[in-house]
Structure 1
C-alpha cells in the first residue's frame, strides 16, 4: 500500500512553497500527501503580500479528519504563525500520535514577510519542538531560535547540538549559505553522532520553496520506513535535482522543479559521521 503523509502548513498561491510544494514533493517521493491548512497567503515569485490565519477549530478539524481515516505514516509542519496555532497543532499531533514528525520552523519568507510572530517562538520551542523526530532550520532560523551567530560549518555543528537540547530527537541545520563552503552542506545531529550531507551549491535565483520541499521529502522518506540518515540523504539528492532543474517562472524567484527528470541525476550527497 502507498504510504500516507500529512502536511500541516500554510498555502502558497504561487504554488512553489507551502502546502502546494509539500504535496508535490511527497508525491514525487512515492507517498500520498494529505493536508491541513493553517493559513492562506497571497504570494508570487516576488513576495508574500498578505496572509490570513485560519480559525483554530478549522485547523483542528482538518487534522482530526485526516488522522481518523488515513493511516498517516509521517507528518510535517510548516507555517504555524501564532502561539495559539502552534498549541492547537501540538495538541493534535500528541493526541493522534503523528510520528515520525518533521518540523520545519518557518519564520520569514525570502522577501522578508514575517511568517511566525515573535511572541510565538517560545511556544514553538516549548510545545512543538519536543514532539519532533527532526527539525530542519536554515541558518537564519537557527540564529533566531538560539540567539547566536551561525555562519560557518563549525557554527552549524554547534547549532545542531544546541538545538538538540531543546528536545527534538534530531536536528538538521541546512547550510545552503555557509560562509566558509562552496557547497551546500547540511549538518544532522541525532544526539549521538554528527552527519554531514553535501551537494554542489547551484547558482540560480529559482529556489522558492526549497525548505518546504526538502522537509516534505524527508517526511515522505520516513513514511517509507527508512532511517533518518537514509531519509535525509535521499531527500538531499532529490532537492538538489529539483534545484538543478528549477523552473524560471514569474519574474522573481521561481520555484524548484518538484518532478525533475530522473535521467539527469544530481551528484550523490556524501554522508559522514
Structure 2
C-alpha cells in the first residue's frame, strides 16, 4: 500500500486539516501519516496553538527513519521557522508534493504575513502542484481576480514564482452560475467548470481537494485526471456534508464512495 504524508494543523471541527487529510487518504486506499504543526480551534476568532519547533523536528526525524513516502501534502504550517525545516526535508524528497498555501489570515497585510508568504514561496520549487484558493492566489499574484481570464493571468504569475504547476480554486467566488478552477501545467491551461453547489457544508473543501490529489498522484495518476477525480470527490463531500450547529458545516470525506447509500 502506498504511504502518504500530510503536514498540517489539527482542525477542532475535523472538516479540514490533518483529520480531513487522513480520512481522504484512506478513502483512496493509501495509508496516511501526519506531521502535526499546530492545533487550531475553529471559532471566532480562530485560535492557533503552534507546536514547538523541536516537536515538529522530532516528528519529522521519526517519519524519515520509518517511511518511504509515495506523496506529500502540505497544508497549514503557520510558523516561519517550521517552513525552513520542511524545505530542507523536501529538498531531499523524490515523491510528488501538493502544496496548499494557507495564506488568507485575517490579520491582513502584516509583516508576519509578508514573511510567511515569502517562506511559502520558497517551497514552490519543491512542489509538484500548488493549489491556492482565489484569495490566496490574489495575494501571491498581487492582483485582483474576478474572472477566468484573470485566474489564468494569476496562474502564470504564481508559476513564475517557482511553482511547477498551479491549480487556482475559484469555487463560488467568481460571479455566475458556474464554479471555475484553472489548472496551469506544462505551459497550457485546463479550465474546470461545474454548476455551483447550493450546499453550505464546505468547511475543509480545500484541504480535502489537495489531499485527494496527493493520494491519486501517489498511485501514479496523471495530474489532470487526479484533479478531476479529486473535484468529484469534494463535490460529493459538500453535497452530503455534515451540518454543524454553530456554522455552515463540514465536507464529508466519507461521501463519495458511499453516496448511493447516503
Q: Same fold (TM over 0.5)?
A: yes
Match of 1:26 in 2: 25
| Structure 2 counterparts to residues 20-99 of structure 1, below 5 A | 20-43=19-42, 46-47=43-44, 49-95=46-92, 97=93, 99=95
Deviates further, 182-191 or 59-68 = 59-68
How many corresponding residue pairs?
A: 257
Moved over 2 A (4+): 46-49, 177-181, 261-265
Residue 98 of structure 1: CA displacement?
A: 5.1
Q: In the alignment, which residue of structure 2 is the partner of 1:104?
A: 100
In 2, the alpha carbon distance for the partners of 1:231 and 1:171 equals: 13
Q: Report 1:1-273 matches (<5 A).
A: 2-43=1-42, 46-47=43-44, 49-95=46-92, 97=93, 99-108=95-104, 112=106, 117-118=112-113, 119-125=115-121, 127-262=122-257, 264=259
Which secondary structure does the structure 2 equivalent of 1:197 belong to?
strand
* Alpha-carbon distance between aligned partners in 2 of 1:159 and 1:84, rounded to the nearest angstrom: 28
Q: Distance in 1 between matches of 2:254 and 2:39?
A: 24
**Cα RMSD over matched residues?**
1.9
Structure 2 residue aligned with 1:269:
none
Quick one: distance in 2 between partners of 1:50 and 1:254? 18
CA contact (8 A) 1:146 1:159 kept: yes
TM superposition shift of 1:161: 1.2
Change (3 A) 1:261 1:77: closer
Per mean C-alpha deviation after superposition, the further-off stretch among 175-184 and 188-197 is 175-184
Q: Is the 1:83–1:123 Cα contact (8 Å) retained in structure 2?
A: yes
**Structure 2 Cα separation of the partners of residues 15 and 76 of structure 1:** 17
Deviation at residue 191 of structure 1 after TM alignment: 3.4
Question: What TM-score comes out, normalization by structure 2 length?
Answer: 0.92
Gaps in structure 1 of 5+ consecutive residues: 266-273
Q: Look up the SS of the partner of 1:243 in the other structure.
A: helix
| CA-CA distance at 1:113 after TM superposition | 7.0
**Residues 208-262 of structure 1 deviation map (CA, whole Å, 9 limit, x = unaligned):** 0111000000000101111111111111111111111111123202101100053
> Partner of 1:268 in structure 2?
none
Q: What per-residue deviation string (whole Å, max 9, x for no partner) do you get for residues 46-98 of structure 1?
A: 54531111122221221222232122100011111122111111112223x05
Distance, in Å, in 1 between the alignment partners of 2:40 and 2:45 is 7
Counterpart Cα distance in 1 of 2:206 and 2:223: 17
Cα distance between partner residues in 1 of 2:190 and 2:231: 13
- How much does 1:204 deviate? 2.0
